[in-house]
Amino acid sequence: MMYVTRREYFNAAHKVYNPEWSDAKNAEVFGGCANPNWHGHNYVLFVTVKGEISKETGFVIDLKKLSQIIKKEIIEKVDHKNFNLDVPFLKEVLPSTENVTVAFWKILEKPVLDMGCKLHSIKLQETENNYVEYFGE
């Protein structure tokens, strides 16, 4: 089994807050991420797939095609957008890095399978120091 990773970039705005809490509690828990007038991050997305090496190509997956799928299904929908307002698949989702990563998994799982591989992990880096990684469970 071989693991292959594609990296992509996007910028997006969000506000992480729980509407059931007071402004003070949101500020205490989420800090700057609860700023009422939004803020942005330069996200780095790592999509790792796993599969066997093809005898014909020597590839596990055609990374050009994987990149096209990530761009079409994810990047075009979130880049320069506001997670809270502009992205249909994040409606009703508290847009923490964790929840956004789970939403990306749900979108990419099937297209990756259709390319003959399995989605292994999605890593989403929100800042230089913080990232989350999801393995589908």
Q: How far is the CB of 127 from Ni ion (least distance, A)?
A: 8
Which of residues 35 and 67 has its CB atom nearest to Ni ion in the complex?
35
b/e code 15-53 from CB counts within 10 Å (16+ = b): bbbeeeeeeeebbeebeebbeeeeeebebbbebbbbbee
The minimum distance between CB 7 and Ni ion, in angstroms, equals: 20
Within residues 28-57, the interface with Ni ion by CB under 5 A covers: 33
Closer to Ni ion by CB, 39 or 65: give it.
39
Give the binding-site size for Ni ion (rule: CB under 5 A): 1
Active site residues: 33, 80, 126
